[in-house]
Amino acid sequence: MKPRVALIFTLYLGLIACGENQYNEVTLMPSPVAFTSGALDPFHGHGEKELIGHTTLFYATDRAPATPDDASDFYANRRGHLLRVGVATVNMTPRIKSWAEFKDITLAENREIERTLSVTAVEELGPLPVTSPNPLITPPPADTLARVHRDFRDSINRQLAASGGQDAVIYVHGYNVDFEYPTLISQELQHFLGYKGAFISYNWAATPRRTAYFKDLETANATRKNLRVLIEFLAQETDVRRIHLIGYSAGSRLAFEATYQLALKHKSNPSNAKLGQVILVGSDLDRTYFAEAIGDGLLDIMDHLSIYMSSSDSALGMSRLVFGRHRLGQIGDNSEESRALEHRLIDVPKVSLIDVTDAPGAALGNGHWYFRSSPWTSSDIFLSLLKGSPPAKRGLERTPDSAVWHFPKDYPDRILRLSSDM
């Protein structure tokens, strides 16, 4: 047995005893440094009364509804094929008792109390209509589809109107999670975005088990049409101005593939998709495939593509070991292929490569979930979504001969100085 194959097989045997996990609790992520430094307040101009009416968190999932035999209370860890939409309720413990506490957990660098989030309820509207449905699946009744179409459209539009935002953000999670975990992460992201616009947690049927990596990659490919349908629904049926995508880990493949499909489908009129910021975090995509997609017009469909990368991401190190090639979310390996790709991206203004290796908190754990653990990284992501500013206007820097942006040592001071121009 070859050494690399033997190592992979050994690691697999070490994990194979793991059962399916449940993740219906997370500790609230640290506040982004853009907020703790005073550079930005996501709730500026809004008070307690204004926020009460527009904190709705939407979800879209093609997981099967849970049965009494499933570990989850809401949706199972298997494919359900239909794209179901609804609203999730997330509670915080301890509960927030005042507007001052609400602001404090958002803007304070250090919190006196650790707070956790958990999903307590979901209200499903039903299955969303899909153009060219899967011929192997019996479609729901036409009147049901019409009702869900109307109810979801109206709910999105009410959220947009109440929040004063015009954009929608879709978070696409990685593998090894259940329905609840990405819903909680979506609630965090929505909170730090100030509840502006509409936020949708796209919960594809990943499996909460570490050995399910290849199974989940297949599932991600199987669900890309449903994500594309969701994006097209928002673009064509609602009042949304721009749709932003955050794809994390294996979910970056899904976000990328749906975007790629849209680019090919809407080649003659790419503005129809209304895609704004597409953000890939810890992406395990193949670099050559990424470059081929750019050649196919991938960037024409969006305003900007940001790729967050790290040299301390051990999860992608394992992915590289499995596939034998560096992944998109890793810092270049100094190979001719990597150097050529990064050199050519210097002059591609729609793409930003962002190295988070030196950002505080980026290497915590396995170094893969830095978009939550690093207040500098989360700050940059939120600034790009809230302000749409290019990297230089967000305090990042790069050398003239490099396509990769970095966080300078004085990053918090820089964004504070630049805040008036954002």
CA distance 230 to 156: 12
CA distance 411 to 407: 6
Q: Alpha helices, DSSP H only, in 241-364?
A: 250-265, 287-295, 314-323, 336-345
- Which phi and psi angles does 54 have, rounded to 5°? -140, 50
**Confidence at residue 342, expressed as pLDDT on a 0 to 100 scale:** 79
CA distance 205 to 83: 11
Closest CA to 375 of 47, 25, 113, 39: 39
Q: What range defines the domain where residue 299 resides?
A: 3-421
Which sign does the torsion angle of CA 347, 352, 353, 356 carry? positive
Residue type at position 201: S
Q: Which residues of 257-384 form beta strands (DSSP E)?
A: 275-281, 304-309, 351-355
pLDDT tens for the 422 residues of the chain, in order: 454 544 444 444 333 334 456 688 999 999 999 999 999 999 887 777 767 667 899 999 999 999 999 988 999 999 998 999 999 999 999 999 888 899 999 999 999 899 999 999 999 999 999 887 888 888 899 999 999 999 999 999 999 999 999 999 999 999 999 999 999 999 999 999 999 999 999 999 999 988 888 899 899 999 999 999 999 999 999 999 999 999 999 999 999 999 999 999 999 898 999 999 999 999 999 888 999 999 999 999 999 999 999 988 878 877 767 776 778 888 866 767 777 777 888 889 999 999 999 999 999 988 899 999 999 999 999 999 999 999 999 999 998 888 999 999 999 999 999 887 76
- Which phi and psi angles does 283 have, rounded to 5°? -75, 135
Q: Which two tokens stand for residue 403?
A: 């396509």
**Confidence at residue 419, expressed as pLDDT on a 0 to 100 scale:** 86
Q: Which residues of 96-217 form beta strands (DSSP E)?
A: 116-127, 167-172, 198-203
Neighbouring-strand partners of residue 122: 88
CB 328 within 8 A of CB 283: yes
Contacts of 118 (CB under 8 A, 6+ apart): 24, 25, 90, 91, 93, 180, 184
3-class state of residue 51 by DSSP: helix
Containing 182, the helix (H) or strand (E) segment is helix 180-192
* Angle, alpha carbons 252-54-206 (nearest 5°): 25
DSSP state of 5: H
CB 400 within 8 A of CB 21: no
Q: Round the CA-based radius of gyration of the chain to a whole number and report it.
A: 21
Contacts of 398 (CB under 8 A, 6+ apart): 391, 404, 405, 406
CB 275 within 8 A of CB 301: yes
Closest CA to 244 of 117, 85, 359, 383: 383
**Confidence at residue 18, expressed as pLDDT on a 0 to 100 scale:** 40
- Predicted TM-score (pTM) of this structure: 0.93
Let me know if 185 is exposed, middle or buried by CB neighbors in 10 A (0-12, 13-18, 19+): buried
**Number of domain units in the chain:** 1
**Confidence at residue 330, expressed as pLDDT on a 0 to 100 scale:** 83
End-to-end CA separation in angstroms for the chain: 56
**Confidence at residue 269, expressed as pLDDT on a 0 to 100 scale:** 92
